[in-house]
């Protein structure tokens, strides 16, 4: 028993603020409850009494007979608190507060909203909203339309949760218009008590829900989201569209990593950690949900196509290949017998192009061949409806194959259902066979790409196993005793000690103050060396001419030293650093930045001085597991560079993974670190050391 059962499966409902006037929410909800066939008791409540839609009106919730599971509260916002007190007295289980004028208006509204929550919590009442639409449930036992919109919702397997009512309705209508069934629906506005993650958790436990659609505007409690949604997304697809932005990115950042945190990075890392599939397009999200609702997740990434028109199937091919899927050749054991069954001009390849005259037998044979081919995991049947073909035959072929296959099957139906009854009937029958029909070829392709994304997300190694590669007990003391500049950056020597404490491979280096010291240090390190000047005011050293690389001998070093000293003489706190010059390596960046109350994030990307231009970086929430760290290397646009291009050997991936895991430990152990940059790390091929040649650590001291 969940406390949300009373919300989605109520036995009795009261509408407080019921009205006789047709264009009011208090009237609409009553109409909807009746029209959708709610079988339990419905009581309108209004102090004026009388009758609404033939139902006797109770003057107050306290005077409603029998138990009440669910109420709608539609009274003026100043009366909501008292109404809830009465609901508590009556023993109501859940209140949907449609009334607005709370948190969305500002601090005073937020205070009033908190008061509602206090009343409810003290009285064992759960709240949905305020400032919301309500819920729907198509289960024949529930037949619940507790919402003031009206869109017919036929039973199905897609459950929807959306904070905002507008997008929720767009989604709801799309499914309705396309004959796609839906299961449950919740649009909970301000979500003062029953939260979005709690609803997702409820859908997760609902057997009839096969796919969950989420539209989120903000995360009130990202931790709660992580804890509740992650176990759900491991079992069923959770498809999310996140709109609206957070203020995270607006924060002025003084490190590379801080500057690379985008407005929406938090949502990305959160969805990634949970295994939620994120979408940038609402239509693509809905079309993908449609497929998850009635089709199995493809077992692999091989796509096969059958078509009676060549060009649309080529569009599908181009799109899926771009999306990383395969369009394999047909295996000879299915291709050869198929050739016998098709016309001589048909092309028995992939796509199988059967020409416009192909009818039922040919579609059946071609689809059965794809079904039998071990290289094919998902099938797409593309069809136009030529006037000289019995198009219902195409539908029959699809029905037959759909009933017997355990592979994914989608259709591209390029016809106008308004034009001819037979064509409308064809589309309808394909749909009723559980095969989603898309109009545009690329829509079907995008759906397959997204299903594959889900497959890979679901089958990835568990992200829950944290890799604790290092414990560094002495480092708390280093941080405690460290000096920081006015911005909070650790003095370079302290930063170096901290990083070394975590076993991070810093390039051999010496801090020097005079030429004599520089000369001695260079002799000790061995040429070639790099000379760097540092000062609290120097953020990007190379921009200020404070980095001289590849100094091959003492003469060159002296020249560079004198030059820097004279040019940077005015810099307060000027100091010099001598490093061993590292010959080879791909410049990468490893960083750290906080993700609100989710704790720290680890960043990895192509680094060096152009990191802000390239912006080729990936963030993940710490602490990392080994597989997660590894996946970061493959997540970059330019990850091929790590594998070695233009004759370069591949970088030593193990070393990078090790660095990421060490940084993950460092950030997790020391939440007071607000920004961290290792930029660049020179990633070397196997057999050579991968070294950190520049680093900055910033603290947020309490």
CB of 486 to ligand ADP, least distance (A): 18
Question: According to CB under 5 A, which residues from 642 to 681 bind Mg ion?
Answer: 679
- Interface residue list for ligand ADP (CB under 6 A): 507, 530, 532, 540-542, 547, 549, 579, 581-582, 587, 608-609, 679-680, 693-694
Ranges of H-type helices in 460-536: 475-481, 492-501, 515-525
Task: Tell me the residue nearest to Mg ion as measured from the CB.
Answer: 694
Rounded to the nearest 10°, the torsion over CA 259, 263, 265, 266 is 120
Relative to beta strand 691-692, strand 673-683 is antiparallel
Tell me the site size for Mg ion, rule CB under 5 A: 2
Q: How far is the CB of 636 from Mg ion (least distance, A)?
A: 18
Q: Both tokens of residue 517?
A: 């010291």
353 is an interface residue for Mg ion by CB under 5 A? no
| Pick 354 or 588: Cβ nearer ligand ADP | 588
> Where does 91-161 have alpha helices with state H?
107-123
User: Residue 245 contacts by C-beta under 8 Å, 6 or more apart in sequence?
Assistant: 263, 264
Q: Which does 277 bind (CB under 5 to 8 A by kind): ligand ADP, Mg ion, none?
A: none
Strand partners, 45: 16, 58
Which option in ligand ADP, Mg ion, none does residue 587 bind, with CB closer than 5 to 8 A by kind?
ligand ADP
- Helix pair 222-233, 265-274: axis angle to 10 deg: 40
The neighbour count for residue 78, using CB atoms within 10 Å, is 10
Q: How far is the CB of 534 from ligand ADP (least distance, A)?
A: 8
Among ligand ADP, Mg ion, none, partner that 158 touches (CB below 5 to 8 angstroms by kind) = none
Q: Which is nearer to ligand ADP, 211 or 582 (CB)?
A: 582
Q: Which CA distances in Å does 693 have to 130, 499, 679?
A: 54, 12, 7
549 binds, among ligand ADP, Mg ion, none (CB under 5 to 8 A by kind): ligand ADP
96: closest CA among 184, 32, 225, 8? 8
625 contact, one of Mg ion, ligand ADP, none, CB 5-8 Å limit per kind:
none
Smallest separation, CB 539 to ligand ADP (Å) = 7
Query: Minimum distance from CB of 526 to ligand ADP (Å)?
Result: 13
Nearer to Mg ion, 286 or 678 (CB): 678
- Beta carbon nearer to Mg ion, 272 or 694: 694
Q: Which residues pair with 698 in a beta bridge?
A: 489, 675
Q: Counting contacts by CB under 5 A, is residue 587 touching Mg ion?
A: no
621 within 8 A of 598, measured Cβ to Cβ: yes
Beta strands in 166-242 (DSSP E): 184-187, 211-216, 238-242
Whether the CA torsion 476, 481, 484, 490 is positive or negative: it is negative
CB of 580 to ligand ADP, least distance (A): 6
| Beta carbon of residue 588, minimum distance to ligand ADP (angstroms, whole number) | 10
Tell me how far CA of residue 412 lies from CA of 5, 385, 439, 550, in angstroms. Answer: 39, 11, 6, 60
Q: Give which of ligand ADP, Mg ion, none residue 445 binds (C-beta under 5 to 8 Å, depending on kind).
A: none
3-state helix, strand and coil shares in percent for the chain, rounded to the nearest 5: 40, 20, 40
CB of 624 to ligand ADP, least distance (A): 24
From Mg ion, ligand ADP, none, which one binds at residue 253 (CB under 5 to 8 Å depending on kind)?
none
Structure-token pair, residue 501: 């404490």
**Window 676-695: contact mask with Mg ion (x via CB under 5 A):** ---x--------------x-
Q: Which parts of this chain interact with Mg ion (CB under 5 A)?
A: 679, 694
């Amino acid at each position: 028993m969940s406390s949300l059962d009373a919300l989605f499966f109520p036995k009795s409902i009261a509408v407080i603020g019921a009205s006789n006037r047709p264009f009011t929410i208090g009237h609409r909800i009553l109409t909807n409850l009746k029209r959708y066939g709610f079988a339990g008791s419905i009581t309108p409540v209004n102090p004026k009494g009388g009758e609404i839609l033939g139902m006797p009106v109770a003057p107050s919730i306290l005077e409603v007979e029998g138990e009440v599971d669910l109420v709608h509260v539609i009274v003026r916002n100043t009366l909501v608190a008292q109404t809830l007190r009465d609901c508590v007295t009556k023993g109501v289980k859940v209140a949907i507060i449609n009334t607005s004028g709370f948190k969305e208006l500002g601090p005073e509204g937020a205070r009033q909203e908190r008061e509602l929550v206090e009343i409810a919590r003290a009285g064992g009442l759960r709240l949905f909203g305020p400032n919301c639409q309500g819920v729907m449930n198509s289960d024949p036992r529930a037949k619940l339309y507790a919402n003031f919109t009206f869109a017919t919702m036929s039973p199905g397997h897609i459950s929807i949760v959306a904070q905002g009512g507008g997008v929720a309705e767009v989604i709801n209508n799309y499914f309705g218009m396309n004959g796609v069934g839906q299961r449950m629906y919740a649009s909970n506005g301000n979500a003062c008590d029953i939260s979005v993650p709690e609803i997702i958790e409820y859908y997760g436990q609902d057997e009839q829900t096969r796919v969950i659609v989420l539209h989120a505007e903000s995360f009130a409690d990202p931790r709660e989201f992580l804890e509740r949604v992650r176990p759900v997304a491991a079992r069923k697809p959770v498809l999310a569209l996140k709109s609206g932005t957070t203020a995270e990115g607006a924060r002025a950042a003084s490190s590379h990593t801080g500057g690379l945190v985008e407005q929406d990075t938090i949502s990305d890392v959160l969805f990634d950690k949970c295994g939620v599939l994120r979408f940038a397009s609402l239509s693509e999200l809905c079309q993908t949900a449609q497929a998850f609702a009635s089709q199995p997740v493809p077992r692999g990434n091989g796509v096969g196509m059958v078509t009676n028109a060549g060009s649309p199937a080529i569009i599908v091919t181009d799109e899926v290949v771009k999306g990383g899927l395969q369009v394999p050749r047909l295996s000879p054991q299915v291709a050869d017998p198929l050739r016998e069954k098709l016309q001589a001009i048909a092309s028995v390849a992939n796509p199988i192009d059967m020409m416009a005259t192909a009818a039922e037998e040919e579609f059946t044979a071609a689809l059965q061949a794809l079904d039998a081919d071990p290289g094919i995991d998902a099938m797409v049947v593309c069809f136009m409806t030529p006037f000289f073909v019995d198009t219902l035959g195409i539908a029959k072929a699809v029905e037959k194959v759909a009933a017997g296959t355990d592979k994914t099957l989608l259709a591209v139906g390029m016809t106008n259902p308004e034009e001819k009854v037979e064509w409308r009937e064809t589309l309808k029958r394909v749909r009723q066979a559980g095969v989603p029909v898309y109009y545009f070829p690329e829509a079907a392709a995008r759906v397959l790409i997204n299903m594959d994304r889900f497959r890979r997300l679901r089958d990835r190694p568990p992200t829950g196993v944290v890799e604790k590669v290092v414990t560094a007990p002495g480092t708390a003391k280093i941080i405690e005793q460290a000096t920081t500049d006015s911005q909070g950056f650790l003095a370079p020597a302290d930063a170096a000690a901290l990083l070394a404490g975590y076993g991070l491979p810093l390039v051999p280096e010496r801090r020097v103050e005079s030429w004599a010291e520089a000369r001695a240090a260079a002799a000790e390190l061995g040429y070639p060396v790099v000379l760097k000047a540092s000062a609290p005011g120097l953020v990007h050293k190379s921009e200020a001419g404070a980095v001289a690389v590849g100094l091959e001998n003492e003469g060159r070093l002296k020249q560079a030293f004198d030059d820097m000293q004279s040019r940077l003489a005015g810099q307060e706190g000027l100091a010099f650093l001598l490093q061993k010059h590292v010959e080879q390596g791909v410049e990468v960046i490893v960083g750290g930045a906080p993700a609100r109350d989710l704790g720290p994030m680890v960043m990895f990307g192509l680094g060096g001085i152009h990191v802000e231009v390239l912006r080729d970086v990936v963030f993940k929430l710490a602490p990392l597991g080994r597989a997660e760290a590894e996946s970061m290397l493959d997540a970059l646009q330019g990850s091929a560079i790590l594998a070695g291009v233009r004759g370069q050997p591949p970088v030593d991936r193990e070393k990078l993974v090790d660095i990421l895991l060490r940084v993950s430990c460092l950030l997790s152990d020391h939440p007071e670190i607000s920004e961290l940059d290792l930029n660049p790390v020179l990633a070397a091929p196997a057999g050579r050391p991968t070294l950190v040649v520049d680093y900055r650590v910033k603290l947020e001291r309490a």
